[in-house]
Structure 1
Amino acid sequence: MQKRVFQLLVDNTSGVLSRISGLFSRRGYNIESITAGVTADPRFTRITIVTSGDEDILEQIEKQVGKLVDVRDIKELDPEDSVYRELVLVKVKVDPKKRLETRQGVEFLANNFRAKIIDVGAENLIVEFTGNHSKVNALIQRFTEEYEVLELARTGITGLGRGIENVTYIED
Protein backbone atom coordinates (compact mmCIF):
# COMPACT_ATOMS: atom_id res chain seq x y z
CA MET A 1 0.00 0.00 0.00
CA GLN A 2 1.47 3.32 -1.11
CA LYS A 3 0.47 6.85 -0.23
CA ARG A 4 0.25 9.61 -2.85
CA VAL A 5 -0.38 13.34 -2.75
CA PHE A 6 -2.29 14.73 -5.74
CA GLN A 7 -2.69 18.41 -6.45
CA LEU A 8 -5.68 19.45 -8.53
CA LEU A 9 -6.41 22.77 -10.16
CA VAL A 10 -10.17 22.98 -10.63
CA ASP A 11 -12.81 25.49 -11.66
CA ASN A 12 -14.03 27.44 -8.65
CA THR A 13 -17.67 26.37 -8.99
CA SER A 14 -20.25 25.09 -6.56
CA GLY A 15 -20.29 21.32 -6.17
CA VAL A 16 -16.78 20.66 -7.48
CA LEU A 17 -15.56 19.24 -4.17
CA SER A 18 -18.67 17.07 -3.94
CA ARG A 19 -18.10 15.68 -7.44
CA ILE A 20 -14.49 14.83 -6.65
CA SER A 21 -15.26 13.19 -3.31
CA GLY A 22 -18.22 11.41 -4.93
CA LEU A 23 -15.89 9.79 -7.45
CA PHE A 24 -13.75 8.48 -4.57
CA SER A 25 -16.76 7.09 -2.69
CA ARG A 26 -18.34 5.49 -5.78
CA ARG A 27 -15.10 3.69 -6.60
CA GLY A 28 -14.35 2.74 -3.00
CA TYR A 29 -11.14 4.80 -2.84
CA ASN A 30 -10.02 6.27 0.45
CA ILE A 31 -9.23 9.94 1.02
CA GLU A 32 -6.77 10.28 3.90
CA SER A 33 -6.90 14.07 3.80
CA ILE A 34 -8.25 16.75 1.51
CA THR A 35 -7.70 20.50 1.54
CA ALA A 36 -9.10 23.11 -0.81
CA GLY A 37 -8.74 26.84 -1.27
CA VAL A 38 -9.04 29.50 -3.92
CA THR A 39 -5.85 30.34 -5.84
CA ALA A 40 -4.37 33.72 -6.77
CA ASP A 41 -6.82 33.60 -9.68
CA PRO A 42 -10.32 33.48 -8.11
CA ARG A 43 -11.64 31.42 -11.05
CA PHE A 44 -9.72 28.39 -9.76
CA THR A 45 -9.41 26.32 -6.60
CA ARG A 46 -6.38 24.25 -5.64
CA ILE A 47 -7.23 20.93 -4.00
CA THR A 48 -4.67 18.66 -2.35
CA ILE A 49 -5.72 15.04 -1.84
CA VAL A 50 -3.77 12.43 0.08
CA THR A 51 -4.84 8.90 -0.82
CA SER A 52 -3.43 5.38 -0.68
CA GLY A 53 -3.62 2.13 -2.58
CA ASP A 54 -1.55 -0.12 -4.77
CA GLU A 55 0.09 1.19 -7.94
CA ASP A 56 -2.86 0.25 -10.20
CA ILE A 57 -5.44 1.90 -7.95
CA LEU A 58 -3.37 5.09 -7.65
CA GLU A 59 -3.01 5.28 -11.45
CA GLN A 60 -6.78 4.80 -11.81
CA ILE A 61 -7.45 7.56 -9.29
CA GLU A 62 -5.23 9.98 -11.19
CA LYS A 63 -6.81 9.12 -14.55
CA GLN A 64 -10.42 9.19 -13.34
CA VAL A 65 -10.07 12.43 -11.38
CA GLY A 66 -8.32 13.99 -14.37
CA LYS A 67 -11.35 13.20 -16.56
CA LEU A 68 -13.79 15.17 -14.39
CA VAL A 69 -15.15 18.23 -16.21
CA ASP A 70 -14.11 20.77 -13.54
CA VAL A 71 -10.55 19.45 -13.23
CA ARG A 72 -8.14 21.61 -15.24
CA ASP A 73 -4.92 19.93 -14.08
CA ILE A 74 -3.81 17.08 -11.84
CA LYS A 75 -0.28 16.39 -10.65
CA GLU A 76 1.32 14.02 -8.24
CA LEU A 77 3.37 15.97 -5.70
CA ASP A 78 6.59 13.99 -5.33
CA PRO A 79 7.89 14.36 -1.75
CA GLU A 80 11.41 15.05 -3.02
CA ASP A 81 10.30 17.91 -5.27
CA SER A 82 7.51 19.42 -3.17
CA VAL A 83 6.80 21.25 0.05
CA TYR A 84 4.03 19.81 2.25
CA ARG A 85 2.55 21.54 5.28
CA GLU A 86 -0.22 20.87 7.76
CA LEU A 87 -1.74 23.08 10.45
CA VAL A 88 -2.75 21.77 13.86
CA LEU A 89 -4.49 23.49 16.77
CA VAL A 90 -4.14 21.81 20.18
CA LYS A 91 -6.24 22.80 23.20
CA VAL A 92 -4.50 21.86 26.46
CA LYS A 93 -6.16 21.81 29.89
CA VAL A 94 -4.64 24.12 32.49
CA ASP A 95 -5.15 23.68 36.24
CA PRO A 96 -5.70 27.24 37.53
CA LYS A 97 -3.50 26.43 40.55
CA LYS A 98 -0.61 25.44 38.26
CA ARG A 99 -1.27 28.02 35.54
CA LEU A 100 2.21 29.58 35.43
CA GLU A 101 4.01 26.24 35.60
CA THR A 102 1.82 24.73 32.85
CA ARG A 103 2.12 27.80 30.64
CA GLN A 104 5.91 27.77 30.94
CA GLY A 105 6.01 24.05 30.09
CA VAL A 106 3.71 24.50 27.10
CA GLU A 107 5.74 27.50 25.92
CA PHE A 108 8.98 25.51 26.21
CA LEU A 109 7.52 22.61 24.23
CA ALA A 110 5.93 24.97 21.69
CA ASN A 111 9.23 26.82 21.18
CA ASN A 112 11.03 23.55 20.48
CA PHE A 113 8.55 22.89 17.66
CA ARG A 114 8.33 26.55 16.53
CA ALA A 115 4.70 26.54 17.63
CA LYS A 116 2.97 29.35 19.45
CA ILE A 117 0.29 29.86 22.05
CA ILE A 118 -2.52 31.71 20.30
CA ASP A 119 -5.23 31.72 22.98
CA VAL A 120 -5.19 31.71 26.76
CA GLY A 121 -8.38 30.80 28.59
CA ALA A 122 -9.17 30.44 32.27
CA GLU A 123 -8.65 26.67 32.12
CA ASN A 124 -6.95 26.06 28.79
CA LEU A 125 -4.33 27.14 26.26
CA ILE A 126 -4.53 26.75 22.48
CA VAL A 127 -1.32 26.11 20.58
CA GLU A 128 -0.92 26.57 16.81
CA PHE A 129 1.68 24.68 14.79
CA THR A 130 2.46 24.39 11.10
CA GLY A 131 4.86 21.77 9.81
CA ASN A 132 5.26 18.65 7.75
CA HIS A 133 3.18 15.58 8.57
CA SER A 134 5.82 13.83 10.69
CA LYS A 135 6.56 16.95 12.77
CA VAL A 136 2.85 17.51 13.38
CA ASN A 137 2.56 13.90 14.58
CA ALA A 138 5.60 14.33 16.84
CA LEU A 139 4.16 17.52 18.36
CA ILE A 140 0.82 15.85 19.01
CA GLN A 141 2.51 12.85 20.62
CA ARG A 142 4.54 15.07 22.95
CA PHE A 143 1.50 17.12 23.97
CA THR A 144 -0.62 14.02 24.63
CA GLU A 145 2.18 12.48 26.72
CA GLU A 146 2.78 15.58 28.85
CA TYR A 147 -0.60 17.34 29.04
CA GLU A 148 -4.31 16.67 28.97
CA VAL A 149 -5.32 17.47 25.40
CA LEU A 150 -8.95 18.61 25.40
CA GLU A 151 -9.37 19.08 21.64
CA LEU A 152 -7.29 18.85 18.52
CA ALA A 153 -7.94 20.03 14.96
CA ARG A 154 -5.80 19.25 11.89
CA THR A 155 -6.13 20.68 8.41
CA GLY A 156 -4.64 17.82 6.43
CA ILE A 157 -1.74 18.20 4.03
CA THR A 158 -1.47 20.99 1.51
CA GLY A 159 1.48 21.41 -0.78
CA LEU A 160 3.17 22.93 -3.78
CA GLY A 161 5.82 21.62 -6.13
CA ARG A 162 9.24 23.25 -5.88
CA GLY A 163 10.52 25.50 -8.66
CA ILE A 164 8.68 26.92 -11.65
CA GLU A 165 8.89 23.99 -14.05
CA ASN A 166 5.55 22.50 -13.01
CA VAL A 167 3.47 25.67 -12.69
CA THR A 168 0.19 25.32 -14.56
CA TYR A 169 -1.05 28.29 -16.57
CA ILE A 170 -4.70 28.22 -17.61
CA GLU A 171 -5.56 30.23 -20.69
CA ASP A 172 -9.12 31.34 -21.42
Structure 2
Amino acid sequence: MKHTLSVLVEDESGVLSRISGLFARRGFNIDSLAVGPTEKDGISRITMSVRGDNRTIEQLIKQLYKLINILDVQNVTNIPCIERELMLVKVSTIPDNRSNVLEIANIFRAKIVDISNVSLTLEVTGDPGKIFAIQQILNEYAILQIARTGKITLVRESNVNTELLKKSLNYNNYSLYS
Protein backbone atom coordinates (compact mmCIF):
# COMPACT_ATOMS: atom_id res chain seq x y z
CA MET A 1 0.00 0.00 0.00
CA LYS A 2 1.20 3.51 -0.76
CA HIS A 3 1.48 5.82 2.27
CA THR A 4 1.85 9.59 2.38
CA LEU A 5 4.08 11.01 5.10
CA SER A 6 4.25 14.66 6.08
CA VAL A 7 7.50 15.48 7.89
CA LEU A 8 8.35 18.79 9.54
CA VAL A 9 12.08 19.40 9.79
CA GLU A 10 14.46 22.12 10.85
CA ASP A 11 15.78 23.76 7.71
CA GLU A 12 19.40 22.64 8.09
CA SER A 13 21.80 21.25 5.52
CA GLY A 14 21.93 17.48 5.37
CA VAL A 15 18.42 16.78 6.71
CA LEU A 16 17.09 15.44 3.42
CA SER A 17 20.27 13.43 2.94
CA ARG A 18 19.84 11.77 6.35
CA ILE A 19 16.19 10.96 5.61
CA SER A 20 16.93 9.50 2.17
CA GLY A 21 19.84 7.53 3.67
CA LEU A 22 17.51 6.04 6.27
CA PHE A 23 15.09 4.98 3.54
CA ALA A 24 17.90 3.51 1.43
CA ARG A 25 19.33 1.52 4.36
CA ARG A 26 15.89 0.06 5.01
CA GLY A 27 15.39 -0.80 1.33
CA PHE A 28 12.56 1.68 0.69
CA ASN A 29 12.04 3.63 -2.47
CA ILE A 30 10.48 7.07 -2.20
CA ASP A 31 7.85 7.24 -4.96
CA SER A 32 7.23 10.97 -4.64
CA LEU A 33 9.10 13.70 -2.77
CA ALA A 34 8.42 17.41 -2.32
CA VAL A 35 10.23 19.78 0.02
CA GLY A 36 9.51 23.41 0.75
CA PRO A 37 9.44 26.05 3.44
CA THR A 38 6.47 26.28 5.82
CA GLU A 39 4.76 29.27 7.38
CA LYS A 40 7.49 29.38 10.07
CA ASP A 41 11.01 30.56 9.30
CA GLY A 42 13.59 27.81 9.58
CA ILE A 43 11.10 24.94 9.21
CA SER A 44 10.45 22.92 6.04
CA ARG A 45 7.79 20.38 5.18
CA ILE A 46 8.76 17.19 3.37
CA THR A 47 5.90 15.29 1.76
CA MET A 48 6.73 11.81 0.53
CA SER A 49 4.92 8.78 -0.83
CA VAL A 50 6.30 5.40 0.21
CA ARG A 51 5.07 1.85 -0.35
CA GLY A 52 4.80 -0.54 2.58
CA ASP A 53 2.41 -2.21 4.98
CA ASN A 54 1.12 -0.40 8.07
CA ARG A 55 3.55 -2.08 10.47
CA THR A 56 6.58 -1.29 8.33
CA ILE A 57 5.54 2.35 7.93
CA GLU A 58 5.07 2.64 11.71
CA GLN A 59 8.64 1.38 12.20
CA LEU A 60 9.90 3.81 9.58
CA ILE A 61 8.19 6.71 11.37
CA LYS A 62 9.86 5.68 14.65
CA GLN A 63 13.22 5.64 12.89
CA LEU A 64 12.57 9.10 11.41
CA TYR A 65 11.94 10.52 14.90
CA LYS A 66 15.40 9.32 15.93
CA LEU A 67 17.06 11.54 13.32
CA ILE A 68 18.21 14.99 14.37
CA ASN A 69 16.31 18.00 13.02
CA ILE A 70 13.01 16.03 12.73
CA LEU A 71 10.22 17.96 14.46
CA ASP A 72 7.10 15.96 13.53
CA VAL A 73 6.14 13.01 11.34
CA GLN A 74 2.55 12.36 10.36
CA ASN A 75 1.15 9.51 8.28
CA VAL A 76 -1.67 11.32 6.45
CA THR A 77 -2.67 8.37 4.27
CA ASN A 78 -6.07 7.84 5.87
CA ILE A 79 -6.71 11.41 6.98
CA PRO A 80 -8.82 13.77 4.83
CA CYS A 81 -6.24 15.87 2.96
CA ILE A 82 -5.87 18.25 0.11
CA GLU A 83 -3.39 16.71 -2.36
CA ARG A 84 -1.87 18.46 -5.35
CA GLU A 85 0.79 17.84 -7.98
CA LEU A 86 2.09 19.93 -10.84
CA MET A 87 3.00 18.50 -14.22
CA LEU A 88 4.51 20.21 -17.23
CA VAL A 89 3.88 18.11 -20.33
CA LYS A 90 5.13 18.83 -23.84
CA VAL A 91 2.93 17.21 -26.49
CA SER A 92 3.73 16.84 -30.16
CA THR A 93 1.09 18.55 -32.25
CA ILE A 94 0.36 18.79 -35.91
CA PRO A 95 -2.41 20.89 -37.44
CA ASP A 96 -4.70 17.84 -37.53
CA ASN A 97 -4.56 17.16 -33.78
CA ARG A 98 -3.80 20.57 -32.22
CA SER A 99 -7.47 21.35 -31.60
CA ASN A 100 -7.94 17.97 -29.87
CA VAL A 101 -5.05 18.67 -27.50
CA LEU A 102 -6.41 22.17 -26.83
CA GLU A 103 -9.84 20.70 -26.03
CA ILE A 104 -8.28 18.18 -23.62
CA ALA A 105 -6.37 21.04 -21.96
CA ASN A 106 -9.61 22.97 -21.59
CA ILE A 107 -11.49 20.01 -20.07
CA PHE A 108 -8.72 19.44 -17.51
CA ARG A 109 -8.26 23.17 -16.87
CA ALA A 110 -4.65 22.98 -17.96
CA LYS A 111 -2.75 26.13 -18.91
CA ILE A 112 -0.89 26.44 -22.17
CA VAL A 113 2.53 27.76 -21.19
CA ASP A 114 4.38 27.34 -24.50
CA ILE A 115 3.38 26.83 -28.09
CA SER A 116 5.33 26.20 -31.26
CA ASN A 117 4.61 24.86 -34.73
CA VAL A 118 5.32 21.31 -33.57
CA SER A 119 4.30 21.18 -29.89
CA LEU A 120 2.23 22.50 -27.02
CA THR A 121 3.44 22.60 -23.42
CA LEU A 122 0.74 22.36 -20.77
CA GLU A 123 0.83 23.11 -17.06
CA VAL A 124 -1.54 20.81 -15.17
CA THR A 125 -2.25 21.18 -11.46
CA GLY A 126 -4.50 18.91 -9.45
CA ASP A 127 -4.84 15.79 -7.40
CA PRO A 128 -2.77 12.78 -8.46
CA GLY A 129 -5.79 11.18 -10.15
CA LYS A 130 -6.26 14.17 -12.42
CA ILE A 131 -2.57 14.20 -13.34
CA PHE A 132 -2.68 10.48 -14.14
CA ALA A 133 -5.87 10.83 -16.20
CA ILE A 134 -4.65 13.65 -18.46
CA GLN A 135 -1.31 11.92 -18.95
CA GLN A 136 -3.09 8.74 -20.08
CA ILE A 137 -5.22 10.67 -22.57
CA LEU A 138 -2.28 12.70 -23.91
CA ASN A 139 -0.30 9.50 -24.54
CA GLU A 140 -2.31 9.24 -27.78
CA TYR A 141 -0.63 12.43 -29.02
CA ALA A 142 3.05 11.60 -28.58
CA ILE A 143 4.24 13.11 -25.31
CA LEU A 144 7.71 14.56 -25.90
CA GLN A 145 8.66 15.45 -22.31
CA ILE A 146 7.19 15.39 -18.82
CA ALA A 147 8.35 17.08 -15.61
CA ARG A 148 6.36 16.45 -12.42
CA THR A 149 6.61 17.71 -8.90
CA GLY A 150 6.12 15.39 -5.99
CA LYS A 151 2.75 15.30 -4.30
CA ILE A 152 2.15 17.97 -1.66
CA THR A 153 -0.56 17.67 0.95
CA LEU A 154 -2.16 19.45 3.88
CA VAL A 155 -4.67 17.96 6.31
CA ARG A 156 -8.22 19.25 5.86
CA GLU A 157 -9.27 21.10 9.01
CA SER A 158 -12.90 20.50 8.03
CA ASN A 159 -12.31 16.72 8.17
CA VAL A 160 -14.39 16.41 5.00
CA ASN A 161 -13.13 13.50 2.92
CA THR A 162 -13.65 14.65 -0.66
CA GLU A 163 -12.62 11.23 -2.01
CA LEU A 164 -15.68 9.73 -0.33
CA LEU A 165 -17.83 12.56 -1.68
CA LYS A 166 -16.65 11.88 -5.22
CA LYS A 167 -17.60 8.22 -4.87
CA SER A 168 -21.01 8.88 -3.30
CA LEU A 169 -22.19 11.62 -5.67
CA ASN A 170 -22.99 11.12 -9.33
CA TYR A 171 -20.37 13.33 -10.95
CA ASN A 172 -20.02 13.43 -14.69
CA ASN A 173 -16.57 12.69 -16.14
CA TYR A 174 -15.57 16.32 -16.46
CA SER A 175 -16.28 17.43 -12.89
CA LEU A 176 -14.03 14.69 -11.51
CA TYR A 177 -11.03 16.53 -12.92
CA SER A 178 -11.76 20.02 -11.62
- 1:103 has 2:115 as partner: no
Q: What is the RMSD of the two structures over their aligned residues, measured on CA atoms?
A: 1.6
Pairs aligned (count):
159
Check the 8 A contact 1:34/1:50 in 2, yes or no.
yes
1:91-121 deviation per Cα after TM superposition (whole angstroms, max 9, x unaligned): 01123xx1xx543222210111111111112
Provide structure 2 residue ranges, at least 5 long, that are not aligned to the other structure: 160-178
Q: Which residue pairs with 1:153 in the alignment? A: 147
Letter in 2 for 1:132: D
Q: 1:142 aligns with which of 134, 137, 142?
A: 137
Instruction: Work out the CA distance in 1 between the residues paired with 2:119 and 2:78.
Output: 36
The Cα shift of 1:139 comes to 0.5
| Contact preservation (8 Å) 1:107, 1:116 | no
- 1:143, CA displacement in angstroms? 0.2
Q: Distance between the aligned counterparts of 1:77 and 1:114, measured in 2?
A: 27
- Is 1:123 aligned with 2:122? no
The sequence identity of aligned pairs, in percent, is 42
Secondary structure, aligned partner of 2:109: coil
1:35-46 alignment to 2 at 5 Å? 35-46=34-45
Scaled by the length of structure 1, the TM-score of the pair is 0.86
Tell me by how many angstroms 1:55 deviates: 2.0
Q: Which amino acid aligns with 1:155?
A: T
In structure 2, distance between residues paired with 1:92 and 1:63: 43
> Shift of residue 80 of structure 1?
4.6
Q: Which blocks of at least 5 consecutive residues in structure 1 are unaligned? A: 166-172
Kept in 1: contact 2:79–2:155 (CA 8 A): no
